[in-house]
Structure 1
Amino acid sequence: MAIQGDLFSYPLPELLQWLDGSRKTGTLQLSWEAGERKLFVLSGQVTAMSSAGLRERVARLSELARLCRGNRVLAAFDELQRDPDVEDAFLRHGVDVRMVREMGREELVSSVMDLTMAGRGTFHWTEDGDRTGEDWLPSDMSLRELLFESLRWVDEHADVERALPIDAMSVRALAPPSASQPFLHRALLTLCAQPQNLGRLRLSMGVSRSALTRRVYDLLRLKLVEVEGAPHVEADPVAEMLEKGAVLVREGQFDAAGIICASLLSSDPADRRVREFARMVQREHVAALYGELSPVAVPVMVHDPGAMTLLKPEERQIAGLVNGHWDVSTLVLAVPARELDTLRTLAKLTRMGLLQLTVPGR
């Protein structure tokens, strides 16, 4: 099935939500004045993306930031045409694949932010996910996380523009780059060892103005750069907590991210950034649990009265509905608790040895 349309009638955030909720697999092509992007999606996960000249930009940035020789990066990309194993292809040429994935994330978020703010452009969706002949970059970003990050950038864009309104503003690094910093932060700190204005930085790095100013603003907030003529920027505690929460989600630490989420919701439930973060954490946690508990697996209880006494009443209620015939997806529908709570309980019972999972036909 293929569908197409314009992003004024069907806004990009709604399109991404539909693709994620439908667990679609295929290719999303986005076109507007800034060019064209293709997102290769597998069941709600963006596995790769492509755009004209993207590989060359990654190679140039890696060399400008003194992280890796550009020709080695391009050689690794050429290797991908012969060997689709991303880890092996980059390792063979001594290139850190994390750098490449991070650049892909930056490109994804900034492109979706630009398109969301512009409110124009066209899209074409097809269930054909073939990447043959495309200059693609590997990615490991879910549609939920992409939507959350891009909307957060949109919400904070007015603050960025107030601080950095013109390209003639000069940026100077106040600290050297370190290996613990994001790739673009390291690149900017390296390039701004001597003062550079925003316009020259944008052209040399080959990124959009919104992507550049966003990262310069982050560095300004961290007191790692000074910008001539920029106002004093105070750290935004909500933005900092959201960034830390997003890192925890990427690392699979959902309980810790949930604590941050609960704290932010209690302090300001009206903040759209917080609401989007809460939805993202829940859906990412659910997706991770379905990776652990196949929806078609049939749980069977293991008799252990002593271990059952350790369960909470609501967990014993869920355990009582396990009958050896219903699969995980049926149990999720039958239990009155939230989908996330049911899956967490089933995963806990499995780890305690109180459940055995059997997959029909195996």
Structure 2
Amino acid sequence: MSITGNLKTMELAELLQWLSMSKKTGTLVVDNGSVQKQIFFGEGRVISSASSDPSEHLGAFLVSHGFVTENELAQAIKMQESNKMLLGKILTTVGAISDEDLHRMLRLKAEEGIYDVFTWPEGDFRFLDKKLPETHHMVPLSLDVAGIVLEGMQRLDEWKRIREEIPDARCVPVVVAEFDESVLTEGAPQVLALIDDDRTVEDICRKLFANEFHVCRILLRQKLSGRIKLVRPRSKGAAAPAPASGATPNVGLTGEALVEAARQLLTRQELDAALRHVRAARALEPDNQKVAAAAQKIDDRLRQEFESSGLRLDSIPVLARPMEELAKMSLTPQEGFALTRIDGSSDLAALIKLGPLPALDTQLLFWRLSKNGLIKFTSKR
């Protein structure tokens, strides 16, 4: 028996509970016009899921949550083309991820894909009774529908709270203080490393192949901790930047005031704070030519400071301490990411190209690591 309808007339929670209580076996297909989800049932329990959204494909999901790198994923996909093995099996075989972490992430991916449907205002659905894909095309799971429904309803409430602070994906996160490490979750280092005071939330999602909820949840924790603010990009000729809904208004704060503060910070050798103020000034008044010119001068002074400290583009960073020791230290997401990219042969210019941050931000990052005695620089032989 095939069941059809729309989420406007039958809510997802009610639909899932009916399929569970009826101990149905088959495939629930839900389509909102842009994304199609498939939820596979076996005797009333969710046994697997699939989605047409690229951010929910296993490889992208593992990258966005920080379990594998893009290079590891690319190599695994290349191997899959020749041996036709499941992607997860390839990644565990080559040691990119443990069996335990893979199973946990597969379960999380299936749950996240279903939770996402709770946020859909509408969508057509149909249940294909007794129809399932071949077992070797599915990763076997067994999820209780009651737990999924409860979490899904909570997720809907959380998404509403997120939207009060981050109204849409066009908002630009701007760093105003060091990140709060006490609220970091899986995938947070990858998301936070992409904040450059210019990328929008949408840009970060696209760069990581991550869904918007995952990125916004991480950003919201930092915003509530007072570590970032969110602004909306404005068009040419706009009178003033529009702060994101829920943001604390900065009465009297101007781009010129931020640049002047950056000059003073630079004089005191507080380079991190100086660059943050410059980035904030540009984000606050992107069309102000006077601010842009003053900010560029500070950028140039920062580059001169780095070069005088030995951070030339052709210099090679090497670890000054064992990686085992570094792994136990309290590092920012950007610092941890940078340290994992140091191989003893790539120069600073090459590492800048590989990293997600702008060149100046990357130089500042390596300057800080050097100043703290975590790395040192050698010249090319």
Q: Please, what TM-score do these two structures have when normalized by structure 2?
A: 0.48
Partner of 2:368: none
Indicate yes or no: 2:149 matched with 1:130: no
Offset of residue 92 of structure 1: 1.0
Partner of 1:322: none
Offset of residue 91 of structure 1: 1.9
Q: Deviations over 1:261-298 (max 9, x none)?
A: xxxxxxxxxxxxxxxxxxxxxxxxxxxxxxxxxxxxxx
Partner of 2:59: 59
Among residues 119, 140, 154, which one is paired with 1:114 in the alignment? 119
Partner of 1:43: 43
Which runs of structure 2 are paired with 1:185-200 in the superposition (5 Å)? 185-192=188-195, 196-200=199-203
Partner of 2:147: 145
Overall identity of the aligned pairs, in %: 17
Distance 1:26 1:56, change over 3 A: closer
Distance 1:172 1:51, change over 3 A: same
Quick check: 1:77–1:89 contact (8 Å CA) kept in 2? yes
Offset of residue 61 of structure 1: 5.3
Partner of 1:74: 77
Quick check: 1:80–1:89 contact (8 Å CA) kept in 2? no
Indicate yes or no: 2:18 matched with 1:21: no
- Larger deviation, residues 202-211 vs 147-156: 202-211
Which runs of structure 2 are paired with 1:315-354 in the superposition (5 Å)? none
Q: Deviations over 1:118-171 (max 9, x none)?
A: 13322233222224696x566554322221122112223332212111333222
Secondary structure of 2:49 counterpart = strand
Q: Deviations over 1:48-107 (max 9, x none)?
A: 2112264885434544666422225536877995569x6x55421324313444333322
Which runs of structure 2 are paired with 1:1-362 in the superposition (5 Å)? 1-52=1-52, 54=54, 57-60=57-60, 62-63=62-63, 67-68=67-68, 69-74=72-77, 82=85, 90-96=91-97, 97=102, 98-110=104-116, 112-115=117-120, 118-131=121-134, 141-172=143-174, 174-175=178-179, 182-192=185-195, 196-210=199-213, 212-221=215-224, 225-228=228-231, 229=243, 231=246
Secondary structure of 1:123 counterpart = strand
Distance 1:61 1:70 in 2: 11
Distance 1:181 1:10, change over 3 A: same
Distance 1:9 1:40, change over 3 A: same
Structure 1 unaligned blocks of 5 or more = 234-362
Distance 1:83 1:120 in 2: 30
Distance 2:51 2:59 in 1: 14
Quick check: 2:180–2:225 contact (8 Å CA) kept in 1? no
Number of aligned residues: 226
Q: Deviations over 1:196-219 (max 9, x none)?
A: 321212333444545543443345
Secondary structure of 1:122 counterpart = strand
Quick check: 1:55–1:74 contact (8 Å CA) kept in 2? no
Distance 1:223 1:31, change over 3 A: same
Quick check: 1:103–1:183 contact (8 Å CA) kept in 2? no
Secondary structure of 2:168 counterpart = coil
Secondary structure of 1:10 counterpart = coil
Distance 2:194 2:131 in 1: 40
Distance 1:95 1:129, change over 3 A: farther
Quick check: 1:37–1:50 contact (8 Å CA) kept in 2? yes
Q: Please, what TM-score do these two structures have when normalized by structure 1?
A: 0.50
Partner of 1:308: none
Quick check: 1:105–1:139 contact (8 Å CA) kept in 2? no
Q: Deviations over 1:290-319 (max 9, x none)?
A: xxxxxxxxxxxxxxxxxxxxxxxxxxxxxx
Distance 2:174 2:96 in 1: 28
Offset of residue 16 of structure 1: 0.6
Quick check: 1:36–1:51 contact (8 Å CA) kept in 2? yes
Distance 1:119 1:58 in 2: 25
- CA-based RMSD of the aligned residues comes to 3.9
Distance 1:55 1:212, change over 3 A: closer
Secondary structure of 1:17 counterpart = helix
Structure 2 letter corresponding to 1:93: V
Distance 1:12 1:132, change over 3 A: same
Secondary structure of 2:191 counterpart = helix
Structure 2 unaligned blocks of 5 or more = 232-242, 249-381
Distance 2:24 2:162 in 1: 34
Distance 1:113 1:182, change over 3 A: farther
Distance 1:214 1:78 in 2: 35
